[in-house]
Structure 1
């Protein structure tokens, strides 16, 4: 239902442009199994289509990190007073990413150790934002401390089973048995980012090949950068949308539906695509000649194997493969002002949406859905209740300024 995060982490694709341009020295990092096992399983939580895993850095307690294949180094976005962590060899830098705004100050720390179950990473580089601009914890309904990506997982073959919510990491020399129902795609690794080529079919009948970052840290289906190809066109029916938050400010743009998209033999029809405004993605436009990114609303329909050592990605459809693509049918987004507590607040209401027509406003507290008390539901359950089908009615109880009110909301597709 709520895709507020769907471009939020896209900003991090350009995170290192500012810092690496300073010519700072590079220390070889590595990651390895601490046991003799051939593979290692890591359960994860899936919220907003995003993968959350526990990570320890040096002497810290387990911290919650989003697994984002679209970033290279590890980024700490938030630490509370109760989170204690020691970082080595720190220095201050400025960073710039997507968004319309300003540059940020951050710390870069080198020579750190990371621990994920029976995996240890040595000489790891960690970036720390000095301002929590993403508010990931309130949007994810749980404490989120940062984002981890390519630096650790490039050392392994990584299988992401979205259905069972489990990662399996294999040693890089493992000879995997590939199901006959799966398809192998070449991964093009450039500047520590993985790209694939796909084809998009537009409303005017044009089909064209696009180069996409494979981005587990984006919860949407697909993002396309119009300025990168004259043949990329906006669909005739679009809506203005707040697409998320970048390192340098808000990302605005439009959302519309593509006639289709194909990735090898896998084909999807009538799927929503995001089209960020040019001003918000200016930093990314000249990077690797890419045309956009492939997000988790598509990836979650497969068991995905990232075989970085052999530059390939293996896709095996799961039970969600044929599910239709819906986008924010209720017309509002939900956040948790006190992460960890089951209190849910309307954070944004889309203009002319079902929620807007029903009089729901940002700041209203969501009390119950179809008779279920929201205090008894985690964020995933709340979102699941709100992610129905077009035409479905929801009975909501909300509270505004301590006064409860009732709404019957009819879910609708606006694109």
Structure 2
């Protein structure tokens, strides 16, 4: 295997040092290292972090390869500094059987750019009527541990209880898309002043908060693990805060776009800003940022949702919800949190890896650990150009925005997937 010597680099915000990668692991971290056989990477002014881990990625394959494939999504992830992603189940066919999750897992291994860990569906066909093959998916080669009907809420409380009970046997996780469907029928954006002014049917915050409140009670009753996807409201934060204070086994994620963009973006009627759950208010953003900093919200997850041109470049009402996120997430985190490297490592690597049970990921660079890491230039600023994305889709809400930070290198088990800011393969 190749050897790489990253010189004068800050490891998770520490003082500059040298970091040697050999045989797939971090071999040594010390000042003044020398390795004649190693490729030298000048790390002056750069920061090395544990490889980022995304708990919420849509790779679209099988079924919508026109929008994304496992390979193209993996390349976008690597370009964003990720070494592992969890692929959501809303493919076609749905990842509700051992056969489909193993197909996604094998495609990820063949691409070899990031570790792709499939998420299995909770219910057959995401229909919310009967449980999918949770045990078979858990026992498959993909060893699924997280299950979600993301894009659809498991609205039936009895079915949600049974799912929580089932996965408890192998310490699995149910990741809920919190949306009471009877409160969001026909909804186009956040319910508030802007939706009233625009004449669009609104999605009330309580539609999210009510499901989270119900599910934390169910998880508390069962004693099982619940993960809440893409939290978007201040009220949801308070429900989670109270649940954690009681010791409920609940974790939660927030997306980069819900940390930065408000519902006022809908005033342009540009469908790139249509997302599920919708962009909320400045007050919600402030609450989400505070919750992320104090740990009520555990992680940043991208909800990377690529769409083909015809599904986005159309009237707002007919556009599919979703945004790209993998290649810009670390930049948004830097913009929101500043260069708080330990906090960024915790929210974007260590904790998501722990929730997903991904061994070898989410571990700070240290001698003997797998060399899954990313190297970032915090001083760089870049203007987002959709045409330059590694994704097959172009629906980024950050087009032509200038954001901080640039991924210089990403290593997966010691082999570079990105070097000098460019994809290696």
Place the TM-score, normalised by the shorter chain, in its bin. Answer: under 0.3
Question: TM-score when scaled to structure 1?
Answer: 0.25
Greater strand proportion: 1
Greater helix fraction, Structure 1 or Structure 2:
2
* TM norm structure 2: 0.25
